[in-house]
A and B are shown apart, each in its own frame.
Chain A
Amino acid sequence: KQEVTQIPAALSVPEGENLVLNCSFTDSAIYNLQWFRQDPGKGLTSLLLIQSSQREQTSGRLNASLDKSSGRSTLYIAASQPGDSATYLCAVIPSASKIIFGSGTRLSIRP
């Protein structure tokens, strides 16, 4: 059974720092991996989707990597800003239509 783990559960860093959020999964046979952002009381916003054949994806200050063999993905945020404060969810897509979410990392950027 696929399990998705995100550590730490919460992270607080000062503005301007680069940071890495971690996601691990137990079954390397995945279709895709997707990172989401969720603001308090809001829905999910897709940040990056990495297909199983890819190693990384970049969008602006965000870079997500995928290492299927080790069951890991990271989300790198460069030059963090207070507006980056949110919960970041990693989701593994083990088949064409299933999606399994991690419990998220609650990120707080201190001004």
Chain B
Amino acid sequence: DAGVIQSPRHEVTEMGQEVTLRCKPISGHDYLFWYRQTMMRGLELLIYFNNNVPIDDSGMPEDRFSAKMPNASFSTLKIQPSEPRDSAVYFCASRHGTGGREQYFGPGTRLTVT
């Protein structure tokens, strides 16, 4: 398996633009997670899905952020409109089953909003 795939790897955009980050989880994994990593706040869980259904979005910072998972092999994290403080590395991770299983992380998308 190719692992968790994220695209793009780098994104530079201007403030106010819409940004869409994409993730393809490992085939067969039924949990998908979106994280954000910044120097100030470290790694934060934004939202996670189970069987394509959003379960907990309490980590989503504000309404400008939205995430979807239309099928088991694809998820998007959208920021509209983007702001400079959204600059961070966004990670997607997937896992099969609950609790005792490991999460597998993608390489991340480095977002810079100018």
| Interface residues, chain A, with chain B CB atoms under 8 Å away | 31-32, 34, 36, 41-46, 49, 51, 89, 91, 93, 96-104
Cα-based distance from A67 to B55 in the complex (angstroms): 30
| Interface residues, chain B, with chain A CB atoms under 8 Å away | 31, 33, 42-45, 48, 50, 55-56, 91, 93, 98-100, 102-108, 110
B105 adjacent to A43 (CB under 8 Å): yes
8 sample A-B contacts, Cβ–Cβ < 8 Å, listed by A number: A32-B99, A41-B110, A44-B105, A49-B102, A51-B100, A89-B43, A99-B103, A101-B42
Chain B residues, CB < 8 A from A96 = 98-99
A43 adjacent to B99 (CB under 8 Å): no
Chain B residues, CB < 8 A from A51 = 100
Chain A, residue nearest B101 (CB):
A49
Chain A, residue nearest B42 (CB):
A103
User: Contact check: which of A46, A98, A101 meets B102 at CB < 8 Å?
Assistant: A46
User: Contact check: which of A32, A46, A93, A97 meets B56 at CB < 8 Å?
Assistant: A97
A97 adjacent to B31 (CB under 8 Å): yes
Chain A residues, CB < 8 A from B56 = 97-98
A97 adjacent to B55 (CB under 8 Å): yes
Chain B, residue nearest A51 (CB):
B100
A32 adjacent to B108 (CB under 8 Å): no
